[in-house]
Amino acid sequence: MSLVLADVRDGVGTLTLNHPKKANALSQAVVAGIVAGLAEFRRDKVRVVVLRAQPGAKIWSAGHDVGELPESRRDPLGWDDPLRNLIREIELFPAPVIAMVEGSVWGGATETVFACDLIVAAPEATFSVTPAKLGVPYNVSGMLTFLNSASIRIVKEMAFTAKPVTAERAERLGLINHVVPRDTLEAFTYELARDITTLAPLSIAVMKEQLRILAGAHPMSPQGFERIQGLRRVVYDSRDYAEGIRAFKEKRPPVFKGE
Ligand code: YXS
């Protein structure tokens, strides 16, 4: 059974995360399925994409596949990491990508949802930013995805507490576009999608690309970047990082010592 289901109807492409056994973790294979689906939709000149989990999902996605995170001595979120590729593919796709969210969203999956152009969620949906739970040194462009989604105060609260934000609060904060009752979520999302398919695709594509370039236009000195990379290396070489991953695999709470 494929880990990601792809379907096109009335100019709207749907990608369904279909690996509930592993909480739809964004493994290399799941990301490859999403990227392949987006490539197919690009060939079919699809006007809108809906990215969703299977209907009634309790977990939209549990984020990066922890089993695929390097134990240490290697950047866990380097340029070619599957999650980093996924974020870029969504941002570069030449049509709006709508995240339709049922269930809980964790870590790299929260960044994935926030990288989408529109977000429609059921009231039970929650969004967690989890690097501090595992001891992961998130990467700069990933933090920018969060910073482009919420005020720095909210980003800090989500990152420093790793606590879930409810859909209701996320909508109030402007983190997501709409909260819609689960039984009308699909109809609402696909009506929104179909509305977009009736408008000028070239105009929408260029506005999406303009907003991507403008949202990413942050000056950072080479020294500043090198300083951040040095600090991140200390984190992914730390005992805490190894402990975070080991504790997850051993299904126990981690004990972080700051070393
Ligand atoms: O033990 P089995 O084989 O049945 O597999 C279990 C889990 O191990 C697996 N699973 C995952 N495998 C790899 N990577 C994951 N992120 C992941 N999450 C879950 O899926 C099977 C069912 O999970 P289980 O038994 O825990 O289900 P549950 O209903 O009791 O709990 C669901 C969750 C989502 C609350 C729980 O699985 C959980 O807390 N997952 C981790 C959420 C999380 O911290 N994600 C962040 C991943 S790291 C990441 O995204 C970035 C690198 S960062 O951390 O920097 O943001």
* N residues, the chain: 259
Q: Is the pTM of this model over 0.95?
A: yes
**Does residue 50 sit within a domain?**
yes
Residue 73: is its pLDDT beyond 90? no
Catalytic residue among 19, 37, 64, 190: 64
Concatenating the DSSP letter of every residue in 207-222 gives: HHHHHHHHHT-----H
**Does residue 237 sit within a domain?**
no
Q: What pLDDT does residue 24 have?
A: 98
CB atoms near residue 199 (< 10 Å): 11
Q: What pLDDT does residue 193 have?
A: 98
Look at ligand 1, atom 55, and give the residue with the nearest C-alpha: 131
Question: What are the beta bridge partners of residue 97?
Answer: 49
Side-chain-side CA neighbours of residue 244 (13 Å): 25
Q: What is the mean pLDDT of the chain?
A: 97
Mean pLDDT over residues 240-251, rounded?
A: 96
Bridging pattern class, strands 118-121 and 59-61 = unpaired
Mean pLDDT over residues 204-221, rounded?
A: 97
Q: What pLDDT does residue 72 have?
A: 75
Q: Identify which of 21, 22, 158 to mutate to test ligand 1's pocket (most ligand atoms within 8 A of the CB).
A: 22
Distance CA 16, CA 34 (A): 9
**Does residue 225 sit within a domain?**
no
- pLDDT tens, residue by residue, 109-134: 999 999 999 999 999 999 999 999 99
CATH number of the domain bearing residue 80: 3.90.226.10
Structural domain harbouring 74: 4-183
Mean pLDDT over residues 166-188, rounded?
A: 98
Q: Is the CB of 135 under 6 A from ligand 1?
A: no
- Which numbered atom of ligand 1 lies nearest the CA of 63? 50
Distance CA 74, CA 90 (A): 25
Does the active-site annotation cover 218? no
Residue 185: is its pLDDT beyond 80? yes
**Does residue 245 sit within a domain?**
no
**Does residue 125 sit within a domain?**
yes
Q: Is the CB of 130 under 6 A from ligand 1?
A: yes
Q: Is the CB of 65 under 6 A from ligand 1?
A: yes
Instruction: Indicate the pLDDT class of residue 216, thresholds 50, 70 and 90.
Output: very high
* CA 223 vs CA 77, 78, 210, 227: distances in Å: 20, 19, 28, 6
**Does residue 11 sit within a domain?**
yes
Q: What pLDDT does residue 231 have?
A: 97
Residue 195: is its pLDDT beyond 90? yes
Instruction: Indicate the pLDDT class of residue 81, thresholds 50, 70 and 90.
Output: very high
Number of domains in the chain: 1
Residue 13: is its pLDDT beyond 80? yes
**Does residue 115 sit within a domain?**
yes
**Does residue 141 sit within a domain?**
yes
Q: What pLDDT does residue 233 have?
A: 97
Look at ligand 1, atom 7, and give the residue with the nearest C-alpha: 22
Distance CA 56, CA 105 (A): 14
Mean pLDDT over residues 63-79, rounded?
A: 93
Q: What pLDDT does residue 250 have?
A: 97
Residue 53: is its pLDDT beyond 80? yes
Residue 71: is its pLDDT beyond 90? no
Residue 79: is its pLDDT beyond 80? yes
Concatenating the DSSP letter of every residue in 108-170 gives: HHHHHHHHSSEEEE-TT-EEE--HHHHT----HHHHHHHHTTS-HHHHHHHHHH---EEHHHH
Ligand 1 center to 254 CA (angstroms): 14
Look at ligand 1, atom 20, and give the residue with the nearest C-alpha: 22
- Which numbered atom of ligand 1 lies nearest the CA of 22? 20
Residue 1: is its pLDDT beyond 90? no
Instruction: Indicate the pLDDT class of residue 103, thresholds 50, 70 and 90.
Output: very high
